[in-house]
Structure 1
Amino acid sequence: MTRITMTRLADGREILYFDDAGSAERPAASLVDHRDLPARPEPGQLRFDALSREWVAVAAHRQSRTHLPPADECPICPTTPANQTEIPAPDYDVAVFENRFPSLGPDTREIPAAPGWGTAAPAVGRCEVVAFTPQHTGSFAELGWPRTRTVIDAWAHRTEALSALPGIQQVFPFENRGADIGVTLHHPHGQIYAYPYVTPRAAVLAAAAGEYFDRSDGTATLTSSLLRAERSDGSRMVLEGEHFSAYVPFASRWPLEVHLVPHRPVPDLAALNGAERDELAQLYPDLLKRLDALYPTPTPYIAAWHQAPLEPARRRAGHLHLQLTSPRRAADKLKYLAGSEAAMGAFINDTTPESVAARLREVASEPAGAAARTLTPEGAPA
């Protein structure tokens, strides 16, 4: 089993080491942060937008956060005498710690239940960083099965722990990969946000899921229904396993978009059993490698784990799934959100889901080093 060790950084933030199965116990000396850190900044604000009825986090203190430092100054590499980092140990497998420049937190509690114009509150919640590997270079797809399995255990552990904090309504593990997405660190890593409210996108998905669940008298989730339909149709399927399957959705919004769905309707990563986690550790990197195989250079992406909100009325209809998206529409072109998408939320996709799925199936069988083909604006292989 994954070995878990918890300690504190010099300013009081929590850090947890998740070491691969069979690892030895961590030496106590490696758990001490010897830095002289300033006190944690005051939290930002949550402000309520009465026009959309959505919460907005105001976090001006994040302007000073680290931005794409050189490798010898990376804050999430293991600590060395020349570079004392956020991770005090000289080596680690996977590390999770509270963000030094969080959008939310560090306090967790309820926010105003009946907000209106002018309602503001401290930006409570939790933001954590997940360092996937001690290696400064590389990608999630290259971690290997044992380390990927450790990351999955870390996601599950943190989902369960953060869900239990006062006032938390939603837990969101995700990875932003690539400078085109806006990452601030090159080191392979992800994040976990624990929100004190249900986010706008999650609320929309939860409403649709709830309506379907009620119409089926509680016998099926919307996500499981969509998975059955996609598997039956077949034209947009990318891969199928015993416990998980992946497909390009019928009405995908992004040039590259794949949903990875467990066959069993579970609400979150913490609810996955051992066999499901084992297979996920195989299929998820497979999916990421297919994305990278499409073009000669690595594909930027957002890997978003949609977990059920914690409110019981919304949770009962929830079904964990990954939405993996990329704005890349050609080897040298990105999709930018223009007026229709950014202002109105009305997406226009320049690729067809069927051709994208076909290409993602094809690249799995191509020999290593084969010249990557590109997708035309219509989505057909060029």
Structure 2
Amino acid sequence: MAELRYNPLLDSWVMVSAKRQFRPYLPKDHCPFCPGSGKVPAVYDVHVFHNDFPVLTAEPPEPEDVGGGLYQTREAAGRCEVILYSSDHHATLPDLTKSQMKRVIDLWTKTFDELDKDEKHQYVMIFENRGEEVGVTITHPHGQVYAYPFIPQKVKVELDNCKKHLQKTGRNMFDDMIKEEKRFGQRVVLENDYFIAFIPFFTDTPFGLFIVSKENKTALTDFSEEEKNALGDILQEVIGGMDHLFNRTFPFMMGIHGRPSNSENVESYYRFHIEFYSPMQTKEKLKLNAASETAGWAVAIPTRAEDNAVLLRKAIQEFWENGGIKNK
């Protein structure tokens, strides 16, 4: 059974897929994403394939007859893809060479472009879950791409508020965010010619990093080759820094936010950016939501963005002192 169920309280859709409860927790001595498993090519660099346990499919079944009145259902139409970064079971993004990282971004871009053109899709999101703390069941480094038949609620709220900001001020909200973060300075952790990384003033997780395009671009397909290389660099640097924060593979959820598919032009008020969320508070403590945070969406953060930005800047320096990005 797979379907979409409408939440009239929040004007949003919930994806239901009973099949996903059977996702395997694999033993450490077997990995379906490693060459020789029979699941992936015997030799590969980067690779994309359909998720075995998708919540959205190109040819979904009819929804069950469980709705009525306020309770609408829809077919769970869309796509769920898996992207492998490398055939090396231990090579996370900061472990890749510059050329390997560029191939990952090229595959992200190609997959996004293909799914973005399908008129049934309203939003395409590239994301990664990293670490057992956020529910990862296969440790081989990989990301995913979902093509939704709706705009996810968080993105919809961002779009609405960015549009209101443009109407009120005549300016793109992301330009104003970048201006303020650079003016204050203490929350900025890294910057290159095309992107800036900072833990925003309003972060809702202790190390809730943002990477934002400096140019008014809204999708991977908008970027030049030079910009994609710069995106790869800043991603490897900040994630490499995260791994040096507590001398361990840093668990996080990462989502790439861009323009909706088959929609109005949002270039004047929205912007390509990447958001990170992590349960890590300190080396020993996880930051888990309290009842008021889940029930009321009233987030309470136990640390200051300014203090955590200092830690992350220092950790990025340690990443470089320990070898940094491999130039191949």
In 1, the alpha carbon distance for the partners of 2:246 and 2:321 equals: 13
Matched, 1:246 2:197: yes
* Alpha-carbon offset, residue 142 of structure 1: 0.7
* Alpha-carbon offset, residue 105 of structure 1: 1.0
The letter for the 2-side match of 1:84 is G
In 2, the alpha carbon distance for the partners of 1:278 and 1:45 equals: 39
Matched, 1:158 2:111: yes
RMSD: 2.0
Paired residue for 1:52?
Answer: 10
Paired residue for 1:267?
Answer: 218
Paired residue for 1:67?
Answer: 25
* Alpha-carbon offset, residue 71 of structure 1: 3.6
* Alpha-carbon offset, residue 52 of structure 1: 1.9
Secondary structure of the residue aligned to 2:301 is coil
The letter for the 1-side match of 2:3 is Q
**1:203-352 matched pairs, under 5 angstroms:** 203-217=156-170, 220-310=171-261, 311-312=263-264, 314=266, 316-352=268-304
Deviation per CA, 1:263-285: give whole Å up to 9, x if none: 10111111111111111111110
The letter for the 2-side match of 1:343 is A
* Alpha-carbon offset, residue 167 of structure 1: 1.7
- For the structure 1 residues 116 and 236, does the alpha-carbon distance in structure 2 shift closer, same or farther, using more than 3 Å as the test? farther
Secondary structure of the residue aligned to 2:82 is strand
The letter for the 2-side match of 1:247 is F
Q: Which moved more, 1:318-327 or 1:185-194?
A: 318-327
Paired residue for 1:84?
Answer: 38
Q: Which moved more, 1:359-368 or 1:267-276?
A: 359-368
In 1, the alpha carbon distance for the partners of 2:69 and 2:281 equals: 41
The letter for the 2-side match of 1:223 is F
In 2, the alpha carbon distance for the partners of 1:214 and 1:97 equals: 42
TM-score for the superposition, normalised by structure 2: 0.91
The letter for the 2-side match of 1:335 is K
In 1, the alpha carbon distance for the partners of 2:69 and 2:105 equals: 39
Conserved 8 A contact 1:237-1:248: yes
Point out where structure 2 has 5 or more consecutive residues left out of the alignment: 323-328
Conserved 8 A contact 1:48-1:118: yes
In 2, the alpha carbon distance for the partners of 1:257 and 1:194 equals: 24
In 1, the alpha carbon distance for the partners of 2:91 and 2:303 equals: 28
Point out where structure 1 has 5 or more consecutive residues left out of the alignment: 1-42, 370-382
In 1, the alpha carbon distance for the partners of 2:207 and 2:243 equals: 11
Paired residue for 2:47?
Answer: 95
* Alpha-carbon offset, residue 334 of structure 1: 0.5
Conserved 8 A contact 2:219-2:272: yes
Paired residue for 1:200?
Answer: 153
Secondary structure of the residue aligned to 2:217 is coil
- For the structure 1 residues 227 and 71, does the alpha-carbon distance in structure 2 shift closer, same or farther, using more than 3 Å as the test? farther
The letter for the 1-side match of 2:102 is R
Conserved 8 A contact 1:71-1:136: no
Larger radius of gyration: 1
Matched, 1:131 2:67: no
* Alpha-carbon offset, residue 358 of structure 1: 1.1
Question: For 2:306, which of 337, 342, 354 is the aligned residue?
Answer: 354
Question: What is the aligned-residue identity percentage?
Answer: 31
* Alpha-carbon offset, residue 116 of structure 1: 6.0
Deviation per CA, 1:297-342: give whole Å up to 9, x if none: 2211111111122321656522000112211011111011111211
Secondary structure of the residue aligned to 1:322 is strand
Secondary structure of the residue aligned to 1:365 is helix
Secondary structure of the residue aligned to 1:93 is coil
- For the structure 1 residues 315 and 196, does the alpha-carbon distance in structure 2 shift closer, same or farther, using more than 3 Å as the test? farther
* Alpha-carbon offset, residue 138 of structure 1: 3.0
Deviation per CA, 1:202-251: give whole Å up to 9, x if none: 1111111111122344xx42112201211121111101111111111011
TM-score for the superposition, normalised by structure 1: 0.78
- How many pairs are equivalent? 315
Q: Which moved more, 1:311-320 or 1:153-162?
A: 311-320
In 2, the alpha carbon distance for the partners of 1:214 and 1:76 equals: 48
Of structures 1 and 2, the one scoring higher in RCO (CA 8 A, sep 6+) is: 2
Secondary structure of the residue aligned to 2:54 is coil
Conserved 8 A contact 1:309-1:315: no
Secondary structure of the residue aligned to 1:58 is strand
More helix by share: 2
